[in-house]
């Protein structure tokens, strides 16, 4: 049985099995999701509503007067959620750490996130007060710039594969 499907504006023949398995339509998306920085960005995107929800909860608990405390607490919640999701999804091919190794990696992730936050803040301030850019635009530029920094540091330091003990294999090299 043969079906015609529309792919990139052209009609193409597709076998029933291929159509059923979604290979012709989902293949580009699956290839895109194999790119680590794309997965990292998706996890980061999930962190935004997590942060906003946590901020809402902490502002409700502490009141607007304690916004700085509520903001720090929300930041910790969102970076912890992002760390776990990155561990499970973005870097799923790595051997998962246990015990103190996991805690060490989580602390490195927190420090990386804090340094990325400082960079985004500094870039935002420089753009607002130095170049007189709109605060929202400056904030977005700071976040994008710190995203690439955060990914690079996380990729090289935080989520570096754990050394294999007792093995001389160079599989992950």
What pLDDT does 167 receive?
A: 46
pLDDT at residue 1 tops 50 = no
DSSP, collapsed to helix, strand or coil, labels residue 127 as: helix
For residues 17-42, average pLDDT: 75
- Count CA atoms closer than 13 A to 74's CA, side-chain side: 22
User: Between these two residues, 82 and 164, which has the higher pLDDT value?
Assistant: 82
User: Between these two residues, 95 and 104, which has the higher pLDDT value?
Assistant: 104
For residues 111-125, average pLDDT: 91
Other Cβ atoms less than 10 A from the Cβ of 54: the count is 21
Distance CA 82, CA 75 (A): 10
Calculate the CA 149 to chain-centre distance.
12
**135 beta partners:** none
What pLDDT does 139 receive?
A: 81
13-27, 35-49, 55-69, 124-138: segment of lowest average pLDDT: 13-27
Q: Where are the domains of the chain?
A: 1-34, 35-93, 96-161
What would the pLDDT profile of 38-88 be if each residue is shown by its tens digit? 999 999 989 889 988 998 999 999 988 888 888 889 899 999 999 999 989
What pLDDT does 23 receive?
A: 58
Q: Name the token pair of 129.
A: 């007060």
DSSP-assigned letter for residue 65: G
Other Cβ atoms less than 10 A from the Cβ of 126: the count is 14
């Amino acid at each position: 049985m043969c079906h015609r499907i529309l792919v990139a504006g052209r009609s193409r023949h597709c076998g029933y099995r291929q159509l059923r398995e979604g290979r012709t339509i989902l293949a580009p998306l699956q290839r895109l999701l194999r790119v680590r920085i794309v997965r990292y960005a998706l996890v980061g995107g999930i962190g935004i509503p997590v942060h906003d929800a946590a901020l809402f909860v902490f502002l409700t608990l502490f009141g607007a007067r304690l916004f700085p405390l509520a903001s720090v607490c929300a930041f910790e919640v969102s970076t912890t959620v992002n760390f776990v999701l990155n561990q499970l999804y973005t870097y799923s091919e790595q051997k998962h750490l246990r015990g103190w190794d996991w805690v060490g990696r989580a602390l490195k992730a927190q420090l990386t996130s804090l340094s990325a936050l400082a960079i985004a803040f500094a870039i935002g301030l420089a753009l607002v007060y130095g170049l007189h850019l709109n605060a929202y635009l400056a904030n977005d530029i700071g976040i994008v710039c710190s995203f690439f920094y955060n990914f690079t540091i996380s990729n090289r330091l935080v989520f570096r594969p754990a050394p294999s003990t007792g093995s001389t294999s160079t599989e992950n090299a």
